[in-house]
Chains A and B, each alone.
Chain A
Amino acid sequence: MKNTTHFGFKQVATNDKQSLVRDVFNSVASKYDLMNDVLSFGAHRLWKRYTIASSNVKAGDKVLDIAGGTGDLAIEFREKAGDNGQVILSDINAAMLNEGRKNLTNKGVFGVAFVQLNAQYLPFDNNTFDCVSIAFGLRNVTDKDQALTEMYRILKPGGCLLILEFSTTDSAFLKKIYDFYSFNIMPIIGGIIADDEASYQYLAESIRKHPDQETLKYMVLDAGFDFCEYHNLSGGIVALHKGIKV
Chain B
Amino acid sequence: MQLFAIFWRKQTVILERTLNRLIINGEVDISALNGKTIGFSLQDLPLDVHFICTNDRVFVLSVTDKLTDVNVKLTPTVFIYLLHGKDLTELLIQDKISIHGDVKTAQLLVDLLKEVDIDLEEMTSKYTGDTIANQLVKLTKKFNLTDIQSNNPLEIIKNWMSTFVNQSN
Contacts and interface: CB of A to CB of B under 8 A. Distances in A.
Instruction: Verify that A and B bind, or say they do not.
Output: yes
Interface of A: 46, 49-50, 53-54, 56, 58-59, 157-158, 160, 221, 226-227, 229, 231-232, 242, 244, 246
A50 B9 CA distance: 12
A231 B9 contact: yes
A53 B61 contact: no
Classify the secondary structure of B's interface with A: mixed
Interface residues of B, number: 25
Contacts of A58: 20, 24, 57
A160 B20 CA distance: 14
Interface stretch (B48-56, B77-85, B114-122, B137-145): B48-56
Classify the secondary structure of A's interface with B: mixed
B63 interface: yes
Given A158-B57, A160-B59, A56 B126 contact: no
A213 B50 CA distance: 20
A66 to B, nearest CB: 20
Interface of B: 6, 9-10, 13, 16-17, 20, 24, 35, 37, 50, 52, 54-57, 59, 61-66, 126-127
Nearest to B61: A229
Contact of A227 (B6, B20, B52, B127): B52
Contacts of A231: 9-10, 13
A227 B66 contact: yes
A158 B37 CA distance: 12
Tell which of A49, A160, A242, A246 has the most Cβ of chain B within 10 Å.
Answer: A246
